[in-house]
């Protein structure tokens, strides 16, 4: 688990504890604001890369850049993922790739975190 997630979870636990103990409205506003900052980012669908990757586990293909985005479907470990372009999630700084799973049509493209992929060959460029 990353350091940011640990800090975030600790903050949520502290805020929840303050609320249960009759904490101030400041804790409530801070918690609500933190929850509202996560956004599902989308980018232009530009195929400007030649990167070929392989899934290093079973993960969900997303409809946008970020873990808060909706799931399109699960992709199994070992599947080939062809990258069209990359984008950094402004909320977390994590690099995400837009692309398609080998055997899928171009209508079935989606986003995958770079953390879930292993390099096979090629290069990538930023989206749009």
pLDDT at 37: 59
Decide which of 97 and 39 is more confident. 97
Going from the N-terminus, what domains does the chain have, and what CATH number goes with each? 3-36 (no CATH), 52-121 (2.30.30)
DSSP-derived secondary structure for 39-96:
--B----------EEEESS-EEEESSBSTTSPEEEEE-TT-EEEEEEEEE-TTT--EE
Asked if pLDDT for residue 84 goes beyond 70, the answer is: yes
* pLDDT exceeds cutoff 90 at 80: yes
Q: Mean per-residue pLDDT for 22-39?
A: 44
| pLDDT tops 60 at residue 118 | yes
Average pLDDT for the chain: 78
Among the ranges 14-18, 42-46, 61-65, 75-79, which has the highest mean pLDDT value? 75-79
The per-residue pLDDT for 45 is 80
Q: Which of 1, 20, 99, 94 is nearest to 55 (CA)?
A: 99
Band (pLDDT 50/70/90 cuts) for residue 124 is very high
10 vs 110, higher pLDDT:
110
Do the Cβ atoms of 37 and 91 come closer than 8 Å?
yes
For the ranges 32-46, 64-78, 82-96, which has the lowest average pLDDT? 32-46
Burial 26-61 (b: 16+ CB within 10 A, else e): ebeeebeeeeeeeebbbbeeebebebbbebeeebbb
pLDDT on residue 106? 87
Q: For residue 71, give Cα distances in angstroms to 6, 29, 59, 62.
A: 24, 29, 10, 5
| Nearest-angstrom CA–CA distance, 5 and 10 | 8
């Amino acid at each position: 688990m990353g350091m940011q997630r640990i800090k975030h979870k600790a903050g949520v636990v502290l805020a929840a504890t303050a609320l249960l103990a009759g904490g101030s409205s400041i804790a409530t506003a801070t918690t609500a604001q933190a929850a509202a900052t996560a956004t599902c980012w989308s980018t232009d669908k530009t195929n400007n890369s030649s990167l070929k990757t392989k899934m290093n586990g079973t993960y969900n293909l997303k409809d946008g850049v970020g873990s808060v985005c909706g799931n399109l479907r699960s992709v199994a470990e070992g599947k080939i993922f062809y990258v069209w372009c990359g984008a950094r999630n402004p909320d977390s700084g994590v690099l995400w790739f837009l692309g398609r799973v080998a055997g899928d049509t171009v209508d079935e493209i989606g986003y995958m975190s770079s953390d879930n992929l292993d390099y096979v060959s090629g290069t990538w460029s930023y989206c749009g």
